[in-house]
Amino acid sequence: MSAKLLTAHSNVFKCLLTVAGFHPRAFSTGTAAFGSVKLKGRSCLTLKDFGPDEIKKMLWVSADVKHRIKQNNENLPLLQGKSIAMIFEKRSTRTRMSTETGFALLGGHPCFLTSQDIHLGVNESSTDTARVLSGLCDIVLARVYSHSTLEDLAKEASIPIINGLSDMYHPIQILADFLTLQEHYGSLNGLTVSWIGDGNNVLHSFMMTAAKLGVHLKISTPKGYEPEKSVIQEAQRLSEKYGTQLVLTTDPMEAAHESNVLVTDTWVSMGQEEEKKKRLKDFEGYQITMQTGSVARPDWTFLHCLPRKSEEVDDQVFYSSRSLVFPEAENRKWTIMGLMVSLLTDYSPKMPMMKF
């Protein structure tokens, strides 16, 4: 099937990196460029709001915190005396565990709040909740159904608000994904990521981030399941600005062709259970298998934000050496820690800057 190709300079693209094997993480010494990046005090509702150097700084801080704690066994109480309110309208494994354990590991106090605890927007308006929490804690992470809830919180709060997932975006997942890919390939610039599945919040966050890191993006969704039109328009603008390739197609094999990374997600998200039968039928042919990978680059890898269902990716791929899903899941912890440190402190990494 035909693809829609969006480029920076008509048919001229930047050359894709040819990666012949698996490489350790690479570093560079050009740290001066990040000296002017200021993240402290800001909210993170979508990576659309952050430029390339700001996203790279988040990843750099995350890698540094991971190295100092996991490799060097350092005690790093960067958030001692601080507290976080964790608001969860939707259940979670990775988001809750990574945030709660990560904030505590950095010396802070996490407070977990479900919809049964605070009734966000029901017993108390989002506006009032934002003002109250601004006086009781230092930062809020909210995992919500509607992105507008986050916007209401951020508008009234005097402390940073982090999007732990909304119907539009999942920025903290994408930070984990790109840290995982940077660690695996040694660099992000020039990689091709292929999304095969639903046009959902995780894909939206990829689309707001990939071009800023020099990553080409191919997207395959069934007809009727495309990403939001406004997100496509912004992704097109970003690909033109940063000189990367953006492909939209309905053919999974076309998307997978010559790709470094194959990515998918659940086809039936929370709140869509009644649509399950129809969705499974509409997504027939979209399961990622070794056959899908046969047209990808020789070094191709696989990502999935979890939890995974077998119809989305078969066991042969999911449990193979090409699958990075479990390092990806662990990096949810290190990247949320890096993001919280970045939004709450003026911390400067001690390790050399990574080669992006």
| DSSP secondary structure, 131-163, as one string | HHHHHH-SEEEEE-S-HHHHHHHHHH-SS-EEE
From the list 15, 111, 137, 305, the catalytic residue is 305
Average per-residue pLDDT for the chain:
90
Q: For residue 12, what pLDDT band results from cuts at 50, 70 and 90?
A: very low
Residue 228: CATH number of its domain: 3.40.50.1370
Evaluate whether 79 touches 106 at the Cβ level (below 8 Å): yes
Q: Is 305 assigned a catalytic role?
A: yes
- Regarding whether 180 and 166 lie in a shared domain, the answer is no
Residue with tokens 């509607």: 146
With respect to residue 134, please indicate whether it lies within any of the assigned structural domains: yes
- Note the pLDDT tens digit of each residue in 210-239: 999 999 999 999 999 999 999 999 999 999
Q: Is residue 7 part of a domain?
A: no
Lowest mean pLDDT among 13-27, 83-97, 178-192: 13-27
Same domain? For 184 and 325 the reply is yes
Least confident of 121-125, 175-179, 276-280: 121-125
Beta bridge partners of 165: 143
Tokens matching residue 264? 């998918």
On whether both 97 and 150 belong to a single domain, the answer is yes
d(CA 65, CA 59): 10
Residues 164 and 292 occupy one common structural domain: no
Q: What is the pLDDT of residue 339?
A: 98
Start-to-end CA distance of the chain, whole Å, equals 33
Shared-domain flag, residues 179 and 157: no
The whole-number pLDDT of residue 2 equals 43
Examine the domain organization and report whether 158 and 255 are in the same domain: no
The answer to whether residues 305 and 192 belong to one domain is yes
d(CA 107, CA 99): 12
What is the mean pLDDT of the segment spanning 250-254? 98
- What is the reported pLDDT for 277? 87
Asked if the structure places residue 276 within a domain, the reply is: no
Q: Is the pLDDT of residue 122 over 80?
A: no
Model confidence at 28: pLDDT above 90: no
Shared domain check, 61 and 185 = no
Q: Express as a percent the part of the chain with pLDDT over 90.
A: 82
Asked if residue 269 has pLDDT above 80, the reply is no
Tell me the mean pLDDT in the region 130-142: 97
pLDDT of residue 31: 54
Residue 316 domain-assigned?
yes
In a domain, 249, yes or no: yes
Q: Which residues contact 16 (CB under 8 A, 6 or more apart)?
A: 190, 191, 192, 216, 258
Residue 35 lies in a domain: no
Counting the structural domains of the chain, the total is 2
Nearest to 224 by CA among 267, 263, 194, 192: 267
Same domain, 295 and 177: yes
Look-up of token digits 């399950």: 276
Q: How confident is the model at residue 270 (pLDDT cuts 50, 70, 90)?
A: low
Whether residue 355 lies inside any domain: the answer is no
The mean pLDDT of 271-298, rounded to a whole number, is 91
Q: Furthest-apart CA pair in the chain: how many Å?
A: 57
- Containing structural domain, residue 215: 171-268+282-329
Residue 275 has pLDDT above 90, yes or no: no
Q: For 304, list phi and psi in degrees, rounded to 5.
A: -155, 130
- CB neighbour burial string for 86-117, b if at least 16 within 10 angstroms, e if fewer: bbbbbeeebbbebbbebbebbebebbebeeee
Given a cut of 70, whether residue 120 has pLDDT beyond it is yes
Q: What is the mean pLDDT of residues 264-286?
A: 86
Model confidence pLDDT, tens digit, residues 151-171: 999 999 999 999 999 999 999
Q: What is the pLDDT of residues 51-88, one digit of tens each?
A: 999 999 999 999 999 999 999 999 999 999 999 999 99
Q: Quick: pLDDT tens for 295-348.
A: 999 999 999 999 999 999 999 999 999 999 999 999 999 999 999 999 999 999
60 and 186 together in one domain: no
This prediction has a pTM of 0.90
Q: Are residues 140 and 197 in the same domain?
A: no
Residues 337 and 319 in one domain: no
Domain-located, residue 21 = no
